[in-house]
């Protein structure tokens, strides 16, 4: 499908205005970028025009907005343009900033969406990076913010905010942000602030460009602007900020985020927790017996690995063996008191280690793993019918074609065997 691929913008556009915190006149020009390059800010006003990738690793601040930086190059208030890019599923773009902050424009996401729709998108040839939440992820972003990410086939955000002000109070909304729904439900919502906080914020270098033209301002009792664009505009803007901050994941998020009192700090913390989970998922390769038989030459009754549950290429592997009373060796090995032969426990461990090596071989039909040495072999406790042995093998070092590994087998968390072994991949 069209949207399964990466996209960049089909042309250039530029928007200019004032920075809501710096108060400086600033502009941002967007240019197409090659596939795989991601979203990158470029400070064209600084010597050498340094670049700042829009990723979690480059977040430098989350107070009253999200800031990115690399060394002396910084860009503040990036969340609105990132939210619009995310809503349009634009993966690669260069954003040239001629100042330290993205212009606030009218305080909403709409000007960025309008500009993106005007220039359009161009499909690229590589698949888009999609981050799919497949289990519950919880996160806390300070003493008030809390988040839960759940599986969902699109992007859905359910959020609650709570402010001690009569015009806001406690607000809740549930938004499915697929297709054009971001524009309909979120885009027009503006940033907001409280008049009584303005002097203190300006002393600290914030809100120097804030005005009724770009901010919903609340006095002690009511909204000072002519009207709100939504009855719950405050909540919807917070949701839009979440979309922008979560774009720092560097991929398209698919999941249901439930947020209590979201903040920029909390959004970034959630994104980091999702990224940590996603990276672990990418390392984990679930390999069943059919894939195992493609890599190992063994067959029943000598195929002693049932499943691989974790896998990091040439680093670590975890496989399991289900031990049943029907195993052929139980007929003659302590038949009155069935115990799995210790040498077969080590053989099963070695087969798991062999999978760690063979998965990197381009043509496994023509290769085989031979084990050259066993050291420090220890059997800690017997393995009996009904046990499930979990073997964890890790690479100690690789020199030329030889690989040294260290392994342990556990049943119910208790070590039953351990060994060090050296193996080599050779031609059959």
Distance (Å, whole) CA 137 – CA 203:
38
3-state SS, residue 7: strand
Distance (Å, whole) CA 392 – CA 349:
8
- Residues 365 and 321 sit within 8 Å (Cβ to Cβ): no
Distance (Å, whole) CA 356 – CA 392:
11
The one catalytic residue in 152, 165, 298, 333 is: 333
- Residues 354 and 420 sit within 8 Å (Cβ to Cβ): no
CB atoms within 10 A of CB 336: 4
Which tokens hold the place of 53?
């990738």
Which tokens hold the place of 325?
């009373």
Phi and psi, residue 410, nearest 5°: -125, 145
Distance (Å, whole) CA 241 – CA 257:
13
Closest by CA position to 30, among listed 79, 102, 87: 102
Q: Is 165 a catalytic residue?
A: no
Q: Is 337 a catalytic residue?
A: no
Q: How far separated are the first and last CA of the chain, in Å rounded?
A: 42
The one catalytic residue in 264, 278, 298, 337 is: 264
DSSP line for 174-215: EEE--TTHHHHHTTTPPPEEEGGGHHHHHHTT--TT--TTTS
Distance (Å, whole) CA 343 – CA 329:
11
Q: Beta strand 216-218 with 192-194: parallel, antiparallel or unpaired?
A: parallel
Across the beta sheet with 51-53, the strand order is: 13-18, 25-32, 93-97, 39-43, 51-53
Element (H, E) at 110: helix 110-119
3-state SS, residue 8: strand
Where in the sequence numbering do the catalytic residues fall? 264, 333
């Amino acid at each position: 499908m069209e949207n399964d691929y990466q996209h960049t913008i089909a042309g250039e556009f530029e928007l200019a205005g004032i920075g809501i915190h710096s108060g400086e006149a600033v502009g941002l020009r967007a240019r197409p970028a090659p596939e795989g390059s991601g979203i990158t800010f470029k400070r064209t006003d600084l010597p050498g025009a340094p670049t700042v990738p829009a990723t979690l690793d480059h977040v430098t601040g989350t107070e009253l907005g999200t800031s990115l930086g690399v060394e002396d190059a910084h860009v503040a208030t990036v969340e609105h343009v990132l939210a619009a890019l995310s809503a349009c599923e634009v993966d690669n773009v260069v954003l040239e900033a001629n100042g330290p902050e993205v212009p606030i424009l009218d305080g909403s996401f709409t000007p960025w969406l309008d500009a993106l729709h005007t220039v359009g998108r161009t499909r690229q040839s590589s698949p888009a990076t999609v981050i799919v939440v497949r289990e519950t992820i919880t996160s806390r972003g300070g003493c008030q913010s809390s988040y839960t990410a759940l599986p969902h086939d699109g992007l859905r955000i359910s959020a609650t905010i709570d402010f001690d002000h009569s015009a806001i109070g406690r607000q809740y909304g549930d938004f499915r942000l697929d297709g054009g729904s971001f524009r309909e439900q979120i885009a027009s919502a503006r940033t907001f602030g409280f008049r009584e906080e303005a002097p203190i914020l300006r002393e600290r270098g914030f809100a120097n460009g804030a005005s009724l033209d770009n901010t919903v301002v609340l006095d002690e009792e009511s909204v000072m602007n002519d009207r709100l664009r939504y009855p719950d505009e405050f909540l919807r803007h917070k949701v839009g900020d979440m979309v922008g901050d979560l774009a720092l994941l560097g991929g398209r998020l698919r999941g249901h985020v439930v947020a209590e009192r979201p903040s920029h700090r909390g959004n970034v913390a959630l994104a980091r927790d999702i990224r940590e989970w996603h990276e672990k998922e990418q390392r984990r390769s679930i390999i069943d017996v059919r894939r195992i038989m493609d890599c190992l030459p063994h067959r029943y009754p000598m195929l002693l690995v049932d499943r691989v549950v974790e896998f990091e290429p040439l680093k670590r592997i975890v496989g399991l063996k289900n031990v049943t009373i029907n195993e052929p060796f139980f007929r003659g090995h302590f038949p009155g008191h069935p115990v799995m032969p210790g040498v077969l426990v080590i053989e099963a461990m070695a087969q798991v280690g062999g999978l760690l090596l063979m998965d990197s071989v381009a043509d496994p039909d023509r290769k085989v793993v031979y084990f050259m040495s066993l050291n420090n072999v220890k059997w800690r406790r017997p393995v009996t019918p009904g046990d499930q042995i979990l073997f964890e093998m890790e690479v100690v070092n690789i020199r030329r074609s030889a690989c040294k590994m260290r392994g342990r087998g556990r049943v119910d968390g208790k070590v039953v065997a351990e060994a060090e072994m050296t193996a080599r991949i050779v031609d059959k």
